[in-house]
Amino acid sequence: MKKKLAKIIMVIIALILLFPVPIRYKDGGTVKYQAILYSVTDYKSLRGIDGYDTGIEIKILGTYSIDDDVMTMKTNDNNYTYVFQIDGDSLIFQQDKSSFVDLTNDRFGFKVTDKAKFHLVED
């Protein structure tokens, strides 16, 4: 009986940590799926007469370290590592030192290639 109760409690905890809650913004269609361990934001915000800003943002709990001008990010389970060269307010992806990055659907982002540059954008 105790094992069955423990399994039920573990399933409930996993659902709480992993099940996302959708948050809809009134900016043209942006939806954020927020769970305790991660969040996924599907951007579709109006940009005046120029149309829409679109994109996907994925945030996963993990750790990062900075050594000189190199940032190394690891997921909490240590299955994935991503390395970036820091250049001012930009991060340059180092494919040869990172885990493989692949898109499951081309509609939800862009292919990340070696030396891809990510710029800091202030809110």
Query: Which amino acid type is present at position 53?
Result: D
Mean pLDDT of the chain: 79
For residues 58 and 25, the model is more confident at 25
Q: Both 25 and 42 in a single domain? A: yes
Q: Are residues 3 and 40 in the same domain?
A: yes
Instruction: Note whether 7 and 49 are same-domain residues.
Output: yes
Place of tokens 């094992």: 3
7 pLDDT higher than 60: yes
- Pair 36, 56 in one domain: yes
Q: Are residues 95 and 122 in the same domain?
A: yes
Same domain, 71 and 56: no
Same domain, 66 and 54: no
- DSSP class of residue 94 equals -
- How many independent structural domains does the chain possess? 2
Q: Answer whether residue 82 shows pLDDT above 80.
A: yes
Residues 39 and 70 reside in one and the same domain: no
pLDDT of res. 94: 93
Tens-digit pLDDT profile for residues 104-122: 556 656 677 888 888 766 6
68 and 41 within one domain: no
- Whether this model's pTM surpasses 0.85: no
Residues 55-78, mean pLDDT to the nearest whole number? 80
pLDDT at 97: 93
| End residue of a domain, out of 40, 60, 80 | 60
Decide if 118 contacts 65 (C-beta within 8 A): no
Domain membership of residue 56 as a residue range: 1-60
Q: Is the dihedral of CA 103, 97, 92, 62 positive or negative?
A: positive
**pLDDT-above-70 percentage for the chain:** 84
Same domain membership, residue 66 and residue 46:
no
Q: For the residues 17-43, what does the mean pLDDT come to?
A: 82
Whether residue 92 sits in one domain with residue 82: yes
Query: Does residue 4 or residue 52 have the better pLDDT?
Result: 4
Of the residues 60, 85, 102, the one at which a domain ends: 60
pLDDT for res 73: 86
Q: Verify that 15 and 43 share a domain, yes or no.
A: yes
